[in-house]
Structure 1
Amino acid sequence: MAAIGPNTAFARSTGARSAGSPRWAAPISRAGRAVRLIGTVQDITERKAAEAAIAESEARFRALAATVPALIFVLDAEGSTTYVNERYGDYTGLDESGLLGTGWQAVVHPDDAAQVAKAWRESLSAGRDYTVEGRLRRADGAWRWHLARGNPVRDAAGHIVQWVGTATDIDEMVEARDALAASRLEIERANAALEARVAERTASLVQANALLAAEIERREAAQAALVQAQKLEAVGQLTSGIAHDFNNVIAAIAGGFSVIERRTQDPRLIEVARHGAKAAERGGLLVKQLLAFARQQVLAPQACDLGALLREAEPLIARSLGPGIELSIDCPGDLGEVRIDPVQLEAALINLAVNAHDAMEGGGRLGIVARASASGEPGRPPELGAEPVVAIAVADTGSGIHPDLLPRVVEPFFTTKPPGRGTGLGLAMVHGFVHQSGGALRIASREGEGTVVTLYLPRAGEARPQALSPLRSEAAPLAAGRRVLLVDDDADVRGVTAAQLSDLGCEVVEAGSAEEALARLDADPDLDAVLSDVVMPGLDGVALAAAIRARRPSLPILLMTGHADRARLAGEVVLDKPFTPQALASALADRIGPSSP
């Protein structure tokens, strides 16, 4: 449809035409003068149609915006709000006009305003979709979470002409999400706590397992030590029993040879007797080694300056090592005294030196180091407890000992040396001597690297087994004319001893048992002394001595033995088998005095 404008007549009168429109001019009279008006007529059908289409589109948009369950807004290209739907106003309780421009910012939660503004600036600057979460105030004052989404609308040239967006209520979703996040956080915390507890429990189990393994190892070591101790004790008991019987045999042999030597004038018999006596003496030394292993030897412990003792023993130890082996001894001057039998300690060190020499045939070094051993130090024998002790380590650079053989080296007659090179009693003797002295012995060795034997000895001042009453060292005059009651269950030993007493000028009354001896004692009031064996069936020598003292307290008693419980013999005068005639004479003279002139 054409529209007529104010200048239509003018266009017709002049004959002018506009593009697509008729042009005409009409004369107009004004104050007697003719005036001509010129105008145009334009076809605006398309524009009107477009405007109608836009209006129809806006009507449909508004109708749609009124029904969509969301808050809808329209912004211009600069971000200023130009439209909100009715639901927006109903939700916020504000008039729609109050939300235009920047009025919508009044309903954004203060804590979310910066985040919303930042998201909008970034979208506006980059020309990309706008998405942000924030809380909007409802008409009743409640704050609820909304998801705002905005999309740019572009013209044909690609320029943004406006933004259309929605704000959707997601409060329940945010609450559920927060609850889920809190639940996840709680689960993570629970998992972390569980992992920590599992780790703690695992560490506890590992520690408990380590302690259990250590305890098992300790118990196995203690069990092995107990088995070894029981084994050695059994062997020691067997050895001591054999030593006793062997001592009786040697006593009979040695005494027989001494009687032969005293009663013959034949030089050849005298020579044979002397050789036999020397062989018996060597047998006696062997028995003493057995008794040392069995811890039945006679000890004379005393307070000793260990430094002085080592200095005095150094030449003997050096000679035992021989040439080619370097010897070093280290003993601090302030180490103090030890309570030990010095003669037996010196013999033990010489024994160890001989073993070291045999293990270092090509030469090497032997070091002897003395030091204080404190309670609780690594490697210290637990059986020592808290007792103050001194450790003497004897270390060689020899061939060492195989680990399988190490537990057996202190057994009697066991040796790692070739046949004929040793009796197997050296370490057994050292072991028995140290233990009988109240100490301990430890051996460590590696094949090809050497061996370390450590002797733990008690310091002076500690109570130790009592020494037996000593015999006089000087030979006393023979007890000729004395009547002696000889008591021994071994007929061979008794016969030889009786012969020795007779050679000394004594009158001998023999008894084969304690009971027989008491009977003879009651029947013979003129006895001057009693010489009795200790180990006998029925009443032993100690019990016999007690019974004799009950009858005749002043009668001298002399006990002889090759094996006995030394603790029971404390205070008694003891003659060790085998003994020489000179030792027998000295013992009798010591107990009953010299013979009358």
Structure 2
Amino acid sequence: MPSSRSAVAQVSMSCAVLRVLFLDDRETDIRPIRHVLESAGLPHIYRVVATGTQLRRALASSDWDIVICGDSVQELPALVSLQIVRELAPAIPFLLICEKMCDEHADTLVKAGAQDYLQKDDLTRLPFVVLRELRTATERRTRMQTEFALRRSEERIRLAAGAASLGIWSYNIAANVIDWDAQCYAVAGIPSGTIITPELFESLIHPDDRVRRREALTEAIRQGSEARMEYRLVRPDGGVRWILSHGRVYLHEDGTVKEIVGVASDITDRQVAEQALRASEARFRSLSASSPVGIFQADLQANVSYTNPRLQEIWHMNEPEILGRGWTARIHPDDVSRLVEGWSDASSRGSSFEIEYRLLLPDGETRWIFGRSTVFFNEAGLPMGTIGTVDDITDRRRAEESLRRSEKLAAVGKLASMIAHEINNPLEAVTNFIYLAETSTEVNEETQSYLRDAQHELQRVSQIATQTLQFHRQSNRQTRTAPSQLLESALALFARRLNEQQITVERDFADVPAILIHASDIRQVLVNLLSNALDAMAGTPGKLRLQLRRVSTSADGTDRVRITVADTGPGMESAVKARVFDAFFTTKGEKGSGLGLWVSGEIIARHGGRIQIRSRKAESGGGTVISFTLPVNSFE
């Protein structure tokens, strides 16, 4: 048995001074008890109470290490005192000191919660009983604190899990039983309290997910690590729920698995949303891929992050080349700043944007584009970027231009008819008068000369009116004609001039199909081009080159025929070349009407074709080349 001093040493480890609450009304009974404690080396402070009210106040006002109760208090029987102590301070040891030992009374108190009892005339055991009860009380208090902390921790976990809709589960390896909380039972659709064995749980998992989940759990057990498992749970009612489960493995001291504890969350709504998003994205990609218009996505600074195949086709660029600011490489230089500034301004204001601009393709062709974009916003209402469309409107603009030209030409044609009607009749009368004057014997030679000049000028006026009318009175019937035949028939008209001017003709005719055209109009164009070429080579031998080619334009893939007439004349200045297709512009002085190339250009445009001219001065080699293309099937 340890000595009193040893006991004191152990007590002093838990408290510096013993705090004793005496339930007694006689100092003579308290003094011997204090003497024994002091003799045993137990320093203490104390307080004496003798009524229930005093006891309640003492317990409420201070923390006591032990309560020592005598049996002589009339107003506060020991059993009543014990009940009060157990009610207000259940962890404090309660000792009974009796005048005479009554085992039955003492047993009643012990059963009610008293720790021990001693007789007043035998207090030898008192220090050891005090030490024992203090140690027991300390252990009990520590255990209660631990249990309280554990309950608080578990409650916090339950609250957090409930707030996050998490179910808590554990798998006891030794018992081979899975423990679920209420949330797990609710998600699985199983009555709460059902014993969950691994076999039952396995049967709830979707057959396609069982192996994958089992392998993840086995690997976590093997490595003693955390397991992350995503699987489907099939409820008894047939409903399927997606579950995301995290579990941590806990080991015994010998390294064997003790249990696995984890949380599970129902992610069905998230899975459904993700599947819907994937389906939506797939639909968008499919629609975007087959869209007849170009589609793009960009940030607020006009940096493109996505394009569909149609936009890449319009731009004649692949997506990596377009991304970022790469798309601007195709924009016509005159339209870049207008497009980018307008787009950026609209994006910063969060408004939609529409614009027409031009693309300049690698082959030099210009295409007209109609673009529109709109800003999209995040959940906070802040602009995130733009999404938009582009459409190639070149054909529409050409059709509109053709319509405007047709309307203009219709007005000019009406005017020409009026002019022809108003001019030709007087011209005929004037011509007759000049003829009569020329045949008169009274007119001298000088006057005859003036009359011949007047006749020449009248013929020139008549020619201008006739050419204008001829252009506007074209045939409405198209015929499929071989271009080579048209060239040869037009060339035959100049056989005498070719011979006189010593002009060599070079033909380079590819095998081209017959084209649907107004043959007389195209022959008029060829005659005009051949006549201009021979005029350019007048006074010196030269070479006339004629070429036929079948071509396909890069923009619309239209099958076309290209006809080229080239001469070796002195060429022309840039200023002249820029105006040769203007009405009434001529370099031939009084000999030219200025309508030939203008009429030719209008005829080609009405057929859906294009006419181009290249020329260089003699010091650079000289020569003029005029080419025009016609669709195999007329646009009209």
Higher RCO (CA 8 Å, separation ≥ 6 residues): 1
Is the radius of gyration larger for structure 1 or structure 2?
Answer: 1
TM-score > 0.5 by shorter chain: no
TM-score, length-normalised on structure 1?
Answer: 0.39
